[in-house]
Amino acid sequence: MIVTLTANPSLDTTIELTGRLQRGAVHRARTTTTDPGGKGVNVARVVTAAGSPALAILPAREDDPLVTALADRGVAHRLVSTGRPVRANVTVTEPDGTTTKINPPGAAAHAEELKALAGLVSRHAATADWVALCGSLPPGAPDDWYATLVRSLRPLPCAVAVDTSDLPLRALAAGFPDTAPDLMKPNADELAQLTGCDGGALEAAAERGDPDPTVRAARALVDRGVGTVLVTLGGAGAVLVTADGAWFARAPRITLRSTVGAGDASLAGYLLAQVSGESPDRALQRAVAHGTAAAALPGTALPHPDQVDRDAVTVSAVDLPVAGRASSTPVAHPATDL
């Protein structure tokens, strides 16, 4: 069972433009769609679509359209009931896949709601393989709320994953090693926030086929107690670093529709592989295959397994950067094993 917490869920509206976005102009939209959103919600949607047990925990009103959409999609969920609508996040996509996002802060959470959310997570963590704490925190939540939650979950048998950004991410890292989760899934910018490197440079190097700077930065987190770091690098693929090794997966070229949810689909793919007992390189391959499939879909649409092409993702082992340049070696997988 994969349990996700989305402390600041959203209803995602996507506006697909017929041309380029221009500041100050009136645009005619090709389509407008609405999907349930928030990072943990998205992870639970992908895991459910893959036929694996998932539970999404979130604060919302029972009659919120987000909750109705989850029920319609068969995504198991538990709510901490609030009297407020969830925030409305807006995505604008252009024909070349350029994705612009506007995420409002959301309504302020009350202390008793946060306490109830933490209680729900702890209760369901007892029977979970993984608990994933995902996304931004609502106003009213202390920046170290995830850090506190990780500390309280660490004695339990479940593994804990965190995918967040900005102040909650910094507060988590400030408590390492006590608050170090089993898995972190930063993108290049988030890894940069933690390690002081240049996120753009990490992605650019990976685009050129050089994962070394990303491996080095992720390795710094492993050295501080994080079990595994899965760094998503957009169209360049992803890097996985553990105490025992590092791997680089190149994403296949696709026609990009929307980057929204690609990181969440990657995390879901990785967790699905983990609960199936797959090796780290194969879990990375599955992560990138899921993320790539999500990026080829519009808005916050997320992939079904039949849209995920693992064969298209190549994985190389990377020498851990002890000294000098790291080098990568292709990892062979028999096609029948995919």
Ligand X SMILES: O=P(O)(O)OC[C@@]1(O)O[C@H](CO)[C@@H](O)[C@@H]1O
Q: Specify the stretch interacting with ligand X by CB under 6 A; choose among 38-46, 182-190, 202-210, 217-225.
A: 38-46
Q: Could you say whether residue 13 binds ligand X (CB under 6 A)?
A: no
The count of C-alpha atoms lying within 13 angstroms of the C-alpha of 293, restricted to the half-sphere facing its C-beta, is: 25
Q: Specify the stretch interacting with ligand X by CB under 6 A; choose among 6-14, 110-118, 267-275, 327-335.
A: 6-14
Dump the DSSP string for 202-255: HHHHHHTT--HHHHHHHHHHHHTT-SEEEEE-GGG-EEEEESS-EEEEEPPP--
User: Judged by CB, which is closer to ligand X: 11, or 221?
Assistant: 11
Q: Specify the stretch interacting with ligand X by CB under 6 A; choose among 52-60, 139-147, 211-219, 259-267.
A: 259-267
The count of C-alpha atoms lying within 13 angstroms of the C-alpha of 65, restricted to the half-sphere facing its C-beta, is: 10
In three-state secondary structure terms, 335 is: helix
Name the one residue in this structure whose structure tokens are 């070696």.
Answer: 329
Q: How far is CA 95 from CA 6, 15, 35, 91, 211, in A?
A: 30, 11, 20, 13, 29
Size of the site for ligand X (CB under 6 A): 18
Please select the residue that binds ligand X; options are 4, 8, 48, 285, rule is CB under 6 A. Answer: 8
Q: Specify the stretch interacting with ligand X by CB under 6 A; choose among 7-15, 22-30, 69-77, 185-193.
A: 7-15
Q: For residue 177, say if its preceding peptide bond is cis, omega within 30 degrees of 0.
A: yes
Q: Which residues contact 280 (CB under 8 A, 6 or more apart)?
A: 228, 240, 242, 244, 245, 247
Q: Could you say whether residue 226 binds ligand X (CB under 6 A)?
A: no
Cβ-proximal residue to ligand X, closest one? 37
Enumerate residues 98-117 that contact ligand X by CB under 6 A: 101, 103
The catalytic position among 182, 264, 309, 337 is 264
Two structure tokens written together for 285 = 């391959």
Q: Could you say whether residue 303 binds ligand X (CB under 6 A)?
A: no
Pattern 159-178, ligand X, x by CB under 6 A: ------x-------------
**Shortest spacing between CB 165 and ligand X, in angstroms:** 6
Q: Could you say whether residue 218 binds ligand X (CB under 6 A)?
A: no
**Shortest spacing between CB 41 and ligand X, in angstroms:** 7
Q: How far is CA 104 from CA 87, 110, 144, 333, in A?
A: 7, 18, 20, 44
Q: Could you say whether residue 263 binds ligand X (CB under 6 A)?
A: yes
Q: Could you say whether residue 89 binds ligand X (CB under 6 A)?
A: yes
Among this protein's residues, is 264 annotated catalytic? yes
Active site residues: 264
Residues that bind ligand X (CB under 6 A): 8, 10, 12, 37-39, 42, 89, 101, 103, 135-136, 165, 260-261, 263-264, 300
